[in-house]
Amino acid sequence: MTFMHQPVGVYPGSFDPIHVGHMAIVERATQIFSKVVVGILENSGKDPLFSPTERADMMRELYAGNPAVEVRRFSGLLVSFLKELDAKIIIRGMRAVSDFEYEFQMALMNRRLYPSAETVFLTPKEEYLYLSSKLVREVVALGGDVTGLVPEPVRVRLEARYRSSKGRPAAD
């Protein structure tokens, strides 16, 4: 099987919320693939701050002017989502050694489930190596400033969420 000329790369994640580290990966991915499908996982088992609809809305707003980026929601297996899109490439960011075990396990499981798929790891910008959605949520919940770490509309929604409902997710 050859992976040459794969037009579509799928960048899956929880994106709760999207931060500038994710955005840097999307930008890099669009330099490699003609189309990058950002796949927002709906049923993560985690207790999300933003509902899948809210996460998709924020992301669509962000990439509205970029025809190379398509925002989709998915549930169930990632490989089923890939098949539905007729895609074979999974894009993931690898920040540090601490990410390695989880990412390696997922990549191997996905290969086992769908042997013609391949996971491609992109390295994030070094200034965002420490950045994660979990830390962003925690900083905002504790009154800290995340300006520059998330896109401005996301920062506004984050602060509103923690002010209005003490961080409870909206019903979807």
Query: Which residues are catalytic, by number?
Result: 22, 46, 95, 133
Q: How far is the CB of 3 from ligand PNS (least distance, A)?
A: 19
What is the distance in angstroms between the CA of the first residue and the CA of the last residue of the chain? 40
Q: Does 109 bind ligand PNS (CB under 6 A)?
A: yes
Q: Are 51 and 19 in contact (CB under 8 A)?
A: no
Residue type present at position 87 = A
- The set of residues, in sequence order, having a beta carbon less than 8 Å from that of 20 and lying 6+ positions away, is 128, 131, 148, 149, 150, 151
Q: Does 12 bind ligand PNS (CB under 6 A)?
A: yes
Sole binder of ligand PNS in the list 69, 78, 82, 150 (CB under 6 A): 78
Taking contact as CB under 6 A, which single stretch among the options 8-16, 52-60, 117-125, 162-170 is the one that binds ligand PNS? 8-16
Q: How far apart are CA 88 and CA 107, in angstroms?
A: 12
Q: How far is the CB of 46 from ligand PNS (least distance, A)?
A: 7
Binding region for ligand PNS (CB under 6 A):
12-14, 41, 44, 77-78, 106, 109-110
